Amino acid sequence: MKSKRILVKGVEAIALGALAGGCNCYFGYPITPQNEIPELMSVELPKRGGVFLQAESETSAINMVLGASAVGARAMTSSSSPGISLMSEGFSYLIALELPCVIVNVMRGGPGLGGIEASQGDYFQAVKAPGHGDGKFLVLAPYSCNEAYELTAKAFELAEKYRNPVMILSDAILGQMKEPLTLKSPKIKTLEKDDWILSGAKDRPGRVIKSLFLDSAELAERNLKLKQKYQKMEVEIKFERLAEGSEELIIVAFGSMARICKEAVFNLRARGYPVGFFRPITLFPFPRKALCELAESHQKRKKFLVVELNCGQMVEDVASALCGKGDILSLAYPPSVLPFPEDIEREIIKCLNLSTSLNV
Protein backbone atom coordinates (compact mmCIF):
# COMPACT_ATOMS: atom_id res chain seq x y z
CA MET A 1 0.00 0.00 0.00
CA LYS A 2 1.31 3.43 -0.88
CA SER A 3 1.29 5.73 2.09
CA LYS A 4 0.13 9.29 1.63
CA ARG A 5 2.16 12.36 2.59
CA ILE A 6 0.42 15.53 3.70
CA LEU A 7 1.51 18.85 5.18
CA VAL A 8 -0.02 19.38 8.65
CA LYS A 9 0.44 21.15 11.95
CA GLY A 10 1.56 19.09 14.92
CA VAL A 11 -1.82 19.34 16.58
CA GLU A 12 -3.52 18.11 13.42
CA ALA A 13 -1.11 15.17 13.36
CA ILE A 14 -2.27 14.36 16.90
CA ALA A 15 -5.95 14.48 15.88
CA LEU A 16 -5.30 12.31 12.82
CA GLY A 17 -3.29 9.91 14.95
CA ALA A 18 -6.21 9.66 17.37
CA LEU A 19 -8.56 8.77 14.53
CA ALA A 20 -6.08 6.18 13.25
CA GLY A 21 -5.97 4.78 16.79
CA GLY A 22 -9.70 4.22 16.80
CA CYS A 23 -10.74 7.21 18.90
CA ASN A 24 -14.55 7.35 18.77
CA CYS A 25 -15.30 10.27 21.03
CA TYR A 26 -13.81 13.61 21.93
CA PHE A 27 -14.82 16.00 24.72
CA GLY A 28 -12.96 19.27 25.25
CA TYR A 29 -12.98 22.99 25.89
CA PRO A 30 -11.19 25.51 23.62
CA ILE A 31 -7.76 26.86 24.57
CA THR A 32 -4.84 28.07 22.46
CA PRO A 33 -2.59 26.54 21.09
CA GLN A 34 -4.55 23.34 20.47
CA ASN A 35 -7.90 24.44 19.03
CA GLU A 36 -7.22 22.69 15.74
CA ILE A 37 -7.68 19.35 17.55
CA PRO A 38 -11.33 19.90 18.57
CA GLU A 39 -11.99 21.63 15.25
CA LEU A 40 -10.75 18.66 13.27
CA MET A 41 -12.50 16.18 15.54
CA SER A 42 -15.81 18.06 15.22
CA VAL A 43 -15.66 17.43 11.47
CA GLU A 44 -14.21 13.92 11.39
CA LEU A 45 -15.82 12.08 14.32
CA PRO A 46 -19.48 12.50 13.28
CA LYS A 47 -18.55 11.27 9.78
CA ARG A 48 -17.29 8.05 11.33
CA GLY A 49 -20.23 7.54 13.66
CA GLY A 50 -18.29 8.95 16.59
CA VAL A 51 -19.19 11.63 19.08
CA PHE A 52 -17.81 15.15 19.38
CA LEU A 53 -19.01 17.42 22.16
CA GLN A 54 -17.66 20.76 23.30
CA ALA A 55 -18.10 20.87 27.06
CA GLU A 56 -18.71 23.99 29.17
CA SER A 57 -15.37 23.59 30.94
CA GLU A 58 -12.35 21.33 31.15
CA THR A 59 -13.80 19.94 34.38
CA SER A 60 -16.89 18.75 32.55
CA ALA A 61 -14.89 17.57 29.55
CA ILE A 62 -12.71 15.21 31.55
CA ASN A 63 -15.76 13.84 33.36
CA MET A 64 -17.49 13.17 30.04
CA VAL A 65 -14.35 11.28 29.04
CA LEU A 66 -14.66 9.36 32.31
CA GLY A 67 -18.25 8.32 31.57
CA ALA A 68 -17.52 7.39 27.96
CA SER A 69 -14.52 5.32 28.98
CA ALA A 70 -16.57 3.41 31.57
CA VAL A 71 -18.84 2.13 28.80
CA GLY A 72 -15.89 1.07 26.66
CA ALA A 73 -15.41 4.04 24.32
CA ARG A 74 -12.00 5.12 23.00
CA ALA A 75 -12.25 8.53 24.57
CA MET A 76 -9.99 11.52 24.28
CA THR A 77 -9.62 15.11 25.40
CA SER A 78 -7.01 17.76 24.70
CA SER A 79 -6.10 21.04 26.29
CA SER A 80 -3.21 23.29 27.19
CA SER A 81 -1.64 23.96 30.57
CA PRO A 82 -4.34 25.94 32.49
CA GLY A 83 -7.03 23.57 31.23
CA ILE A 84 -4.95 20.56 32.23
CA SER A 85 -4.73 21.90 35.79
CA LEU A 86 -8.50 22.18 35.87
CA MET A 87 -8.85 18.53 34.84
CA SER A 88 -6.60 17.14 37.50
CA GLU A 89 -9.29 15.91 39.92
CA GLY A 90 -10.76 13.96 37.01
CA PHE A 91 -7.30 12.56 36.17
CA SER A 92 -7.01 11.19 39.67
CA TYR A 93 -10.44 9.52 39.44
CA LEU A 94 -9.65 8.05 36.00
CA ILE A 95 -6.47 6.53 37.39
CA ALA A 96 -8.24 5.24 40.50
CA LEU A 97 -11.17 3.83 38.51
CA GLU A 98 -8.66 2.26 36.06
CA LEU A 99 -10.36 3.82 33.06
CA PRO A 100 -8.40 4.09 29.81
CA CYS A 101 -8.35 7.34 27.84
CA VAL A 102 -5.97 9.62 25.99
CA ILE A 103 -5.22 13.14 27.21
CA VAL A 104 -3.25 15.63 25.15
CA ASN A 105 -1.44 18.58 26.73
CA VAL A 106 -0.10 21.08 24.21
CA MET A 107 1.92 22.97 26.80
CA ARG A 108 2.09 26.74 26.91
CA GLY A 109 3.95 29.09 29.20
CA GLY A 110 2.93 29.42 32.84
CA PRO A 111 2.39 29.84 35.71
CA GLY A 112 -1.08 31.34 35.76
CA LEU A 113 -2.33 32.48 32.42
CA GLY A 114 1.34 32.68 31.39
CA GLY A 115 1.49 33.01 27.64
CA ILE A 116 0.84 31.04 24.50
CA GLU A 117 4.48 30.43 23.68
CA ALA A 118 5.92 26.96 23.88
CA SER A 119 6.91 25.65 27.27
CA GLN A 120 7.84 22.40 28.94
CA GLY A 121 6.72 23.73 32.28
CA ASP A 122 4.16 20.97 32.89
CA TYR A 123 6.77 18.18 32.93
CA PHE A 124 6.48 17.59 36.67
CA GLN A 125 2.69 17.77 36.59
CA ALA A 126 2.58 15.16 33.82
CA VAL A 127 5.10 12.67 35.16
CA LYS A 128 4.97 13.09 38.93
CA ALA A 129 1.44 13.92 39.97
CA PRO A 130 -1.23 14.43 37.32
CA GLY A 131 -3.79 14.49 40.14
CA HIS A 132 -3.97 14.02 43.90
CA GLY A 133 -2.98 10.70 45.40
CA ASP A 134 -0.27 8.40 44.16
CA GLY A 135 -1.52 7.97 40.59
CA LYS A 136 0.55 8.08 37.40
CA PHE A 137 -0.03 8.53 33.70
CA LEU A 138 1.91 6.80 30.99
CA VAL A 139 3.44 9.89 29.34
CA LEU A 140 4.56 10.01 25.71
CA ALA A 141 6.54 12.96 24.33
CA PRO A 142 6.67 13.16 20.53
CA TYR A 143 9.11 15.51 18.80
CA SER A 144 7.81 15.56 15.22
CA CYS A 145 4.53 15.36 13.32
CA ASN A 146 5.14 11.76 12.33
CA GLU A 147 5.90 10.76 15.87
CA ALA A 148 2.89 12.71 17.21
CA TYR A 149 0.68 10.78 14.80
CA GLU A 150 2.13 7.38 15.60
CA LEU A 151 2.35 7.83 19.36
CA THR A 152 -1.19 9.19 19.63
CA ALA A 153 -2.56 6.21 17.68
CA LYS A 154 -0.58 3.83 19.88
CA ALA A 155 -1.68 5.65 23.03
CA PHE A 156 -5.21 4.23 22.69
CA GLU A 157 -3.89 0.68 22.69
CA LEU A 158 -1.59 1.34 25.64
CA ALA A 159 -4.41 2.97 27.61
CA GLU A 160 -6.55 -0.13 27.18
CA LYS A 161 -3.67 -2.50 27.80
CA TYR A 162 -2.98 -0.94 31.21
CA ARG A 163 -6.48 0.42 31.87
CA ASN A 164 -4.85 3.75 32.65
CA PRO A 165 -4.87 7.21 31.08
CA VAL A 166 -2.07 7.96 28.64
CA MET A 167 -0.88 11.52 28.16
CA ILE A 168 0.60 12.95 24.97
CA LEU A 169 2.85 15.78 26.14
CA SER A 170 3.40 18.24 23.33
CA ASP A 171 3.95 21.99 23.25
CA ALA A 172 3.11 25.13 21.31
CA ILE A 173 6.03 24.80 18.85
CA LEU A 174 5.46 21.14 18.05
CA GLY A 175 1.74 21.80 17.93
CA GLN A 176 1.80 24.79 15.64
CA MET A 177 4.65 24.03 13.26
CA LYS A 178 3.85 22.43 9.94
CA GLU A 179 5.79 19.55 8.46
CA PRO A 180 5.13 16.58 6.20
CA LEU A 181 3.26 13.69 7.77
CA THR A 182 3.23 10.22 6.29
CA LEU A 183 -0.22 8.78 6.82
CA LYS A 184 0.04 5.10 7.57
CA SER A 185 -2.53 2.69 8.88
CA PRO A 186 -0.92 1.75 12.16
CA LYS A 187 -1.85 -1.63 13.57
CA ILE A 188 -3.61 -0.74 16.80
CA LYS A 189 -4.97 -3.61 18.84
CA THR A 190 -8.45 -3.47 20.33
CA LEU A 191 -8.66 -5.23 23.65
CA GLU A 192 -11.55 -7.25 25.01
CA LYS A 193 -13.38 -5.08 27.53
CA ASP A 194 -16.63 -6.94 28.17
CA ASP A 195 -15.35 -8.26 31.47
CA TRP A 196 -15.15 -4.83 33.12
CA ILE A 197 -17.13 -2.14 31.29
CA LEU A 198 -20.59 -1.01 32.36
CA SER A 199 -23.21 -2.10 29.87
CA GLY A 200 -26.36 -2.81 31.89
CA ALA A 201 -26.59 -5.78 34.22
CA LYS A 202 -28.01 -8.27 31.75
CA ASP A 203 -27.70 -11.88 32.94
CA ARG A 204 -25.22 -10.83 35.60
CA PRO A 205 -25.26 -8.92 38.89
CA GLY A 206 -24.74 -5.17 38.80
CA ARG A 207 -21.15 -4.09 38.27
CA VAL A 208 -19.55 -1.27 40.23
CA ILE A 209 -16.71 1.02 39.19
CA LYS A 210 -15.63 3.06 42.21
CA SER A 211 -12.63 4.53 43.93
CA LEU A 212 -13.85 4.83 47.52
CA PHE A 213 -12.21 2.33 49.83
CA LEU A 214 -12.85 3.23 53.45
CA ASP A 215 -11.23 0.04 54.69
CA SER A 216 -7.57 0.97 55.10
CA ALA A 217 -6.23 -2.47 54.19
CA GLU A 218 -8.30 -2.44 51.01
CA LEU A 219 -7.05 1.01 50.05
CA ALA A 220 -3.44 0.04 50.65
CA GLU A 221 -3.94 -3.04 48.48
CA ARG A 222 -5.43 -0.87 45.71
CA ASN A 223 -2.46 1.44 45.78
CA LEU A 224 -0.02 -1.44 45.62
CA LYS A 225 -1.92 -2.93 42.70
CA LEU A 226 -1.66 0.38 40.84
CA LYS A 227 2.03 0.62 41.69
CA GLN A 228 2.64 -2.82 40.21
CA LYS A 229 0.85 -1.71 37.09
CA TYR A 230 3.19 1.28 36.72
CA GLN A 231 6.15 -1.07 37.08
CA LYS A 232 4.75 -3.30 34.33
CA MET A 233 4.59 -0.25 32.07
CA GLU A 234 8.39 -0.24 32.01
CA VAL A 235 8.31 -2.61 29.01
CA GLU A 236 6.92 0.35 27.04
CA ILE A 237 9.98 2.55 27.68
CA LYS A 238 11.14 4.31 24.52
CA PHE A 239 14.06 6.62 23.87
CA GLU A 240 16.37 7.78 21.11
CA ARG A 241 20.11 7.48 21.68
CA LEU A 242 22.69 9.01 19.38
CA ALA A 243 25.80 8.26 21.35
CA GLU A 244 28.43 5.53 21.27
CA GLY A 245 29.35 6.01 24.90
CA SER A 246 32.80 7.37 24.19
CA GLU A 247 31.57 10.98 24.20
CA GLU A 248 32.51 13.47 26.86
CA LEU A 249 29.10 15.09 27.00
CA ILE A 250 25.58 13.83 26.39
CA ILE A 251 22.69 16.19 25.82
CA VAL A 252 19.41 15.01 27.33
CA ALA A 253 16.26 16.67 26.01
CA PHE A 254 12.69 15.79 25.01
CA GLY A 255 10.01 17.19 22.69
CA SER A 256 10.63 20.45 20.86
CA MET A 257 13.83 21.12 22.80
CA ALA A 258 15.20 17.78 21.61
CA ARG A 259 14.67 18.95 18.02
CA ILE A 260 16.84 22.00 18.58
CA CYS A 261 19.43 20.09 20.60
CA LYS A 262 19.71 17.30 18.05
CA GLU A 263 20.69 19.78 15.39
CA ALA A 264 23.26 21.35 17.69
CA VAL A 265 24.72 17.92 18.45
CA PHE A 266 24.91 17.03 14.74
CA ASN A 267 26.65 20.30 13.97
CA LEU A 268 29.20 19.83 16.75
CA ARG A 269 29.84 16.17 15.93
CA ALA A 270 30.56 17.16 12.33
CA ARG A 271 33.18 19.51 13.72
CA GLY A 272 34.68 16.71 15.81
CA TYR A 273 33.30 17.56 19.25
CA PRO A 274 32.77 14.54 21.53
CA VAL A 275 29.03 15.03 22.14
CA GLY A 276 26.09 12.64 22.14
CA PHE A 277 22.32 12.91 22.32
CA PHE A 278 19.71 11.13 24.41
CA ARG A 279 15.98 11.74 24.06
CA PRO A 280 13.42 10.13 26.38
CA ILE A 281 10.22 9.40 24.43
CA THR A 282 8.35 7.89 27.35
CA LEU A 283 8.67 10.45 30.15
CA PHE A 284 6.86 8.12 32.50
CA PRO A 285 8.13 5.48 32.84
CA PHE A 286 11.45 7.32 32.49
CA PRO A 287 14.30 5.52 30.66
CA ARG A 288 16.45 5.34 33.79
CA LYS A 289 18.23 2.11 32.92
CA ALA A 290 19.11 3.24 29.40
CA LEU A 291 20.62 6.44 30.78
CA CYS A 292 22.63 4.49 33.35
CA GLU A 293 23.92 2.11 30.71
CA LEU A 294 25.02 5.06 28.63
CA ALA A 295 26.75 6.63 31.65
CA GLU A 296 28.59 3.41 32.42
CA SER A 297 29.65 2.59 28.86
CA HIS A 298 33.32 2.99 27.87
CA GLN A 299 34.16 3.38 31.56
CA LYS A 300 34.46 7.04 31.03
CA ARG A 301 32.84 9.59 33.29
CA LYS A 302 30.63 11.83 31.19
CA LYS A 303 28.80 15.08 31.54
CA PHE A 304 25.04 15.08 31.04
CA LEU A 305 23.64 18.40 29.94
CA VAL A 306 19.87 18.48 30.43
CA VAL A 307 18.24 21.11 28.22
CA GLU A 308 14.62 22.08 28.88
CA LEU A 309 12.11 24.80 28.17
CA ASN A 310 11.37 25.40 31.86
CA CYS A 311 13.29 26.30 34.99
CA GLY A 312 14.79 22.82 35.34
CA GLN A 313 12.53 19.83 35.92
CA MET A 314 13.59 16.74 33.94
CA VAL A 315 17.13 17.35 35.19
CA GLU A 316 15.96 15.96 38.55
CA ASP A 317 14.92 12.69 36.92
CA VAL A 318 18.20 12.46 35.03
CA ALA A 319 20.14 13.08 38.26
CA SER A 320 18.12 10.47 40.12
CA ALA A 321 18.54 7.94 37.27
CA LEU A 322 22.29 8.43 37.08
CA CYS A 323 22.75 8.35 40.81
CA GLY A 324 26.20 9.94 40.70
CA LYS A 325 27.37 8.04 37.62
CA GLY A 326 27.85 11.23 35.63
CA ASP A 327 28.18 14.98 36.08
CA ILE A 328 24.82 16.69 35.76
CA LEU A 329 24.51 20.07 34.12
CA SER A 330 21.27 21.95 33.66
CA LEU A 331 20.48 24.32 30.82
CA ALA A 332 17.00 25.59 31.56
CA TYR A 333 15.22 28.16 29.41
CA PRO A 334 12.10 29.58 30.97
CA PRO A 335 9.24 29.86 28.47
CA SER A 336 10.25 33.02 26.64
CA VAL A 337 12.71 33.20 23.78
CA LEU A 338 13.60 29.91 22.17
CA PRO A 339 17.29 29.16 21.76
CA PHE A 340 18.74 28.52 18.30
CA PRO A 341 20.93 25.47 17.74
CA GLU A 342 23.94 27.83 17.71
CA ASP A 343 23.06 29.02 21.21
CA ILE A 344 23.01 25.43 22.41
CA GLU A 345 26.29 24.73 20.60
CA ARG A 346 27.96 27.60 22.46
CA GLU A 347 26.63 26.29 25.76
CA ILE A 348 27.84 22.77 24.98
CA ILE A 349 31.34 24.04 24.22
CA LYS A 350 31.32 25.99 27.48
CA CYS A 351 30.28 22.87 29.35
CA LEU A 352 32.94 20.76 27.67
CA ASN A 353 35.53 23.16 29.04
CA LEU A 354 34.00 23.16 32.49
CA SER A 355 36.02 21.19 35.01
CA THR A 356 33.40 20.83 37.73
CA SER A 357 29.75 19.99 37.55
CA LEU A 358 26.88 22.04 38.83
CA ASN A 359 25.15 20.55 41.78
CA VAL A 360 21.52 19.87 41.16
Q: Is 25 in the site for another protein (CB under 8 A)?
A: yes
State which residue, 38 or 287, has the beta carbon closest to another protein.
Answer: 38
Cα 47 from Cα 62, distance rounded (Å): 23
Smallest distance from the beta carbon of 23 to another protein, in angstroms? Answer: 12
State which residue, 31 or 64, has the beta carbon closest to another protein.
Answer: 64
Q: Is 242 in the site for another protein (CB under 8 A)?
A: no
- Tell me how many residues contact another protein (CB under 8 A): 41
Site residues (CB under 8 A) for another protein, limited to 186-205: 198-203, 205
**Contacts with 340 (C-beta within 8 Å, 6 or more apart), sequence order:** 260
State which residue, 1 or 195, has the beta carbon closest to another protein.
Answer: 195
Do 185 and 1 touch, CB atoms closer than 8 A?
A: yes
Q: Is 207 in the site for another protein (CB under 8 A)?
A: yes
Q: Is 304 helix (H, G, I), strand (E, B) or coil?
A: strand
State which residue, 56 or 192, has the beta carbon closest to another protein.
Answer: 56
Q: Is 93 in the site for another protein (CB under 8 A)?
A: yes
Site string for another protein, 269-288 (x = CB under 8 A): --------------------
Where b means 16+ CB within 10 Å and e means fewer, 139-154 reads bbbbbbbbbbbbbbbb
Q: Is 283 helix (H, G, I), strand (E, B) or coil?
A: strand
Among 16, 27, 249, 252, binds another protein (CB under 8 A): 27
Hey, CA dihedral for 340, 346, 349, 353, is it positive or negative?
Answer: negative
Helix (H) or strand (E) holding 349: helix 341-353
Q: Is 10 in the site for another protein (CB under 8 A)?
A: no
Instruction: Compute the radius of gyration of the chain from its Cα atoms.
Output: 21
H-helix segments, 271-340: 288-296, 314-322
Given the rule CB under 8 A, which of 88-96, 160-168, 256-264, 331-339 is the region that contacts another protein?
88-96
Q: Is 45 in the site for another protein (CB under 8 A)?
A: no
Cα 20 from Cα 184, distance rounded (Å): 8
Q: At what angle do helices 341-353 and 255-270 cross, to 10 degrees?
A: 70
Q: Is 64 in the site for another protein (CB under 8 A)?
A: yes
Among 51, 290, 349, 352, binds another protein (CB under 8 A): 51
**Contacts with 198 (C-beta within 8 Å, 6 or more apart), sequence order:** 70, 71, 207, 209
Instruction: Name the site residues for another protein (rule: CB under 8 A).
Output: 24-25, 27, 51, 53, 55-57, 59-61, 63-73, 75, 89-90, 93, 97, 198-203, 205-212
